[in-house]
């Protein structure tokens, strides 16, 4: 069913995600602390630590957080030592000290050690949220701190593939572009199968996934999602690509909402360089949400009448979304296949040019599909894989300051041949 444009006008990207680490030694007075943080929707709880001496080790295994919250009551001296070390090693991180005792000397000692804010329990969620936001604005923001594989001038790139009809090649393009991007060891790439009822990205990668999107949603609903769990729920392919598959049971697809998806995409952005989203053909509300949060939207077309007609309809609908329309690009798949419609005629009918053309290589694609092996592994020197490497380079060059620099994929595939 088509979603009317006015139902989703206010969809926004969650770019203000706040990454958080808690140092909270066991204490009856702090039992409710964790649940308070999970009530703030934009807070991404990366990790929890229960010992002051292990804080640096815990943080070293994460993307640098915006804020670290340290409960000081268990051992004031160790707490202040941990605060001082953290402030010296990571001056951009906001440090919030908390205590259930209104002890002026303890407060002063924590602030002198390097804490930027102090809260005395009990406090409500609004006070906590305002303090966290203040810390981020004061310098707790790590917008200029690179994520693994991302340079300071770059950001996570989110790409959506939307098909003009079933069988047009959306999943094949998603899988092979994602695997090509993952071939660069500086990238962390995740492919999300958002064809919630009938997706088959797991089959295209020959992955027997243990977990799916519905498991992630379940943990979000229970406020139990952290970075370690997120990574465990992703399936890993030998190419280096991570996959978040569609729900195993078809009826679970209806339980995934736009709010779930907004949260999931925001969380995945926090620890990946590239998100590739393979959308459904049913134009669900979740598809609109994904489109709104994407940097590139590739509408996949073939030179045949049904695909062209549906593309015209889709473009008309997408043009009604001001946050989506400018990002839509046409990708012509299977270029060179014998058809009744020429590329020139298609451009005339669609009223815009093709951003990218993928050549027709039925044998290579079918061999790849049947073996569950992306082209970057099964046919690295093929013409079509060279096309994917150029496609990846074109996407990345549009988000980088160093345009014109020889790409990783150019060197990689030149060496392969």
Give the span between the Cα atoms of 52 and 74, in whole angstroms. Answer: 9
Residue 390 structural domain: 157-416
Same domain, 245 and 362: yes
User: Where does a domain end: 140, 165, 187?
Assistant: 140
Say what the pLDDT of residue 172 is: 96
User: Where does a domain end: 113, 140, 167?
Assistant: 140
**Residue 410 resides in a domain:** yes
Same domain, 80 and 126: yes
Say what the pLDDT of residue 217 is: 84
Are the beta carbons of 131 and 117 closer than 8 angstroms?
yes
- Read off the pLDDT band of 272 (50, 70, 90): confident
Say what the pLDDT of residue 10 is: 35
Same domain, 48 and 186: no
Q: What total number of domains does the chain contain?
A: 2
Are the beta carbons of 125 and 39 closer than 8 angstroms?
yes
Same domain, 93 and 215: no
The CATH number assigned to the domain holding 79 equals 3.40.50.2300
Same domain, 271 and 170: yes
Same domain, 274 and 212: yes
Has this prediction a pTM greater than 0.75?
no
List the single range of 29-38, 58-67, 159-168, 196-205 with lowest mean pLDDT. 29-38
Same domain, 162 and 94: no
Residue recorded with tokens 């990790």: 47
**Residue 10 resides in a domain:** no
Say what the pLDDT of residue 251 is: 86
**Residue 7 resides in a domain:** no
Give the residue-averaged pLDDT of 88-97. 90
> How far apart, in Å, are the Cα atoms of 125 and each of 14, 37, 154, 357?
20, 8, 33, 51
The CATH number assigned to the domain holding 382 equals 3.40.50.300
Nearest-5° angle of CA 179, CA 228, CA 274?
30
pLDDT at residue 351 is higher than 90: yes
Sign of the CA dihedral with 76 first, then 81, 85, and 87 last = positive
Same domain, 96 and 166: no
Give the span between the Cα atoms of 200 and 399, in whole angstroms. Answer: 29
List the single range of 26-35, 78-87, 340-349 with lowest mean pLDDT. 26-35
User: Where does a domain end: 140, 174, 200?
Assistant: 140
Say what the pLDDT of residue 16 is: 60
Same domain, 208 and 354: yes
**Residue 267 resides in a domain:** yes
Q: Give 3-state DSSP helix, strand, coil % of the chain, rounded to 5.
A: 45, 15, 40
List the single range of 94-98, 246-250, 386-390 with lowest mean pLDDT. 246-250
- Read off the pLDDT band of 48 (50, 70, 90): confident
**Residue 301 resides in a domain:** yes
Same domain, 121 and 201: no
**Residue 83 resides in a domain:** yes
Say what the pLDDT of residue 137 is: 78
**Residue 290 resides in a domain:** yes
pLDDT at residue 178 is higher than 90: yes
pLDDT at residue 12 is higher than 90: no
Same domain, 97 and 168: no
Same domain, 183 and 269: yes
Tell which wins on pLDDT, 134 or 179.
179
pLDDT at residue 255 is higher than 70: yes
pLDDT at residue 414 is higher than 70: no
pLDDT at residue 209 is higher than 60: yes
pLDDT at residue 365 is higher than 70: yes
pLDDT at residue 298 is higher than 60: yes
User: Burial of 76 by CB count in 10 Å (0-12 exposed, 13-18 middle, 19+ buried)?
Assistant: middle
List the single range of 3-12, 247-256, 385-394 with lowest mean pLDDT. 3-12
**Residue 208 resides in a domain:** yes
């Amino acid at each position: 069913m088509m979603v009317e444009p006015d139902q989703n006008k206010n969809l926004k990207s969650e770019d203000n995600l706040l990454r958080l680490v808690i140092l909270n030694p066991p204490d009856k007075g702090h039992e409710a602390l964790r649940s308070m943080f999970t009530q703030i929707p934009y807070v991404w709880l990366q990790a929890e630590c229960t010992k002051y001496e292990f804080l640096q080790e815990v943080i070293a295994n994460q993307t640098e957080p915006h804020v670290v919250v340290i409960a000081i009551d268990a051992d004031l001296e160790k707490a202040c030592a941990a605060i001082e070390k953290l402030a010296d090693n990571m001056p951009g991180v906001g440090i919030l000290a908390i205590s259930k005792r209104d002890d002026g000397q303890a407060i002063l000692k924590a602030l002198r050690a390097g804490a930027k804010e102090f809260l005395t329990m009990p406090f409500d969620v609004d006070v906590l949220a305002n303090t966290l936001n203040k810390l981020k604005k004061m310098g707790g923001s790590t917008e200029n701190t690179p994520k693994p594989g991302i340079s300071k001038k770059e950001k996570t790139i989110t790409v959506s593939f939307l098909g003009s009809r079933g069988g047009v090649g959306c999943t094949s393009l998603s899988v092979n572009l994602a695997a090509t991007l993952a071939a660069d060891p500086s990238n962390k790439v995740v492919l999300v199968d958002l064809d919630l009822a009938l997706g088959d990205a797991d089959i295209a990668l020959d992955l027997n996934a243990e977990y799916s999107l519905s498991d992630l949603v379940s943990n979000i609903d229970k406020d139990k999602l952290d970075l370690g769990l997120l990574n465990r729920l992703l399936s890993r392919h030998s190419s280096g690509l991570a996959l978040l598959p569609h729900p195993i049971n078809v009826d679970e697809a209806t339980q995934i909402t736009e709010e779930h998806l907004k949260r999931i995409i925001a969380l995945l952005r926090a620890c990946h360089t590239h998100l590739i989203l393979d959308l459904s053909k049913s134009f669900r509300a979740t598809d609109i949400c994904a489109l709104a949060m994407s940097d590139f939207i590739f509408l996949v077309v073939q030179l045949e009448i049904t695909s062209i007609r549906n593309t015209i309809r889709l473009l008309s609908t997408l043009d009604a979304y001001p946050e989506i329309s400018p990002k839509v690009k046409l990708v012509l798949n299977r270029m060179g296949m014998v058809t009744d419609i020429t590329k020139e005629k298609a451009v005339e009918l669609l009223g815009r040019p093709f951003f990218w053309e993928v050549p027709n290589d039925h044998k290579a694609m079918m061999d790849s599909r049947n073996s569950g092996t992306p082209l970057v592994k099964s046919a690295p020197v093929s013409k079509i894989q060279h096309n994917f490497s150029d496609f990846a380079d074109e996407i990345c060059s549009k988000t980088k300051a160093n345009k014109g620099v020889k790409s990783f994929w150019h060197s990689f595939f030149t060496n392969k041949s």
